[in-house]
Amino acid sequence: MQIDWWTLGLQTVNALVLIWLLSRFLFRPMASILADRKAAAAKLMDEAASAESSARALQQKAQAALDNIASDRTASIRAAAAEADEARNALLEATRSDAARLRAEAEAEILRRKKAEWRAQAERANLLAVDIARRLLERLPQTTLVSGFVEGLVGAIAALPDEIRADFCRPGAAILTAPRPLTTEEEALCRTALEKALGRPLEFGFRADPALLAGLELEDQHTSIRNSLRADLDRIKTTLLAEQESAG
């Protein structure tokens, strides 16, 4: 086999020229294009990663905002519930207070009416007792309406302190009240008994008051000594009223 060196050389040169041309006008541009595309792809990957990171950050912010909203809502609901409970408790307390006040006022009004009724009953009983006593006294001798009460008046005067008894002895200070005008004998009897009880002379005015029914009363500006049937009836009425109010 004979080798054609010229043909081989030309083919080698052609091959080298082709390789140079390919490297010059194909491989380099393609490599540059591949490098550019690789850089673009890397840039796109970086941008995608950055976008993903931003999206995650936004998602986290959104979730945090939702959590804050939920927390604020829960806090608001709790605050509203607490405020509602407080308002309800205040209303209940005010209702209880009003109910207690109304009950106390009702009880006080009931007691006031009871006392008023007791007083009215006592007053009616007192008036009835006065009328009965007056009718009974009409059957007794008129002298007993005065003379029978002198001793009791003297005893009450004797029990007074000295300074109070001395006040009765001032001129014009004492007034003696009887259920009817005194006779001369009755006036002398009263004067003698009173001066003996006081231990000194006594000047007194006189007054007739049929409301006494029977008895005598001596008074001055500061002291009143009641020894009469009407005074006894008044004391009984006061005692009965006090007992009823205490029992009520």
Does position 133 have pLDDT exceeding 70, yes or no?
Answer: no
Q: How does residue 137 score in pLDDT terms, banded at 50, 70 and 90?
A: low
pLDDT of residue 31: 65
| Average pLDDT taken over every residue of the chain | 77
Cα 240 to chain centroid, rounded: 36
| CATH number of the domain located at residue range(s) 140-247 in this protein | 3.30.2320
Question: How many CA atoms does the CB half-sphere of 202 hold within 13 Å?
Answer: 27
Q: Which two tokens stand for residue 241?
A: 């009223």
Q: Which of the four pLDDT bands, split at 50, 70 and 90, describes residue 67?
A: confident
Global pTM reads 0.50
What Å distances lie between residue 10 and 4, 7, 16, 187, CA to CA? 10, 5, 10, 189
- Is the pLDDT confidence value at 241 over 80? no
Residue 117 vs residue 188, higher pLDDT? 188
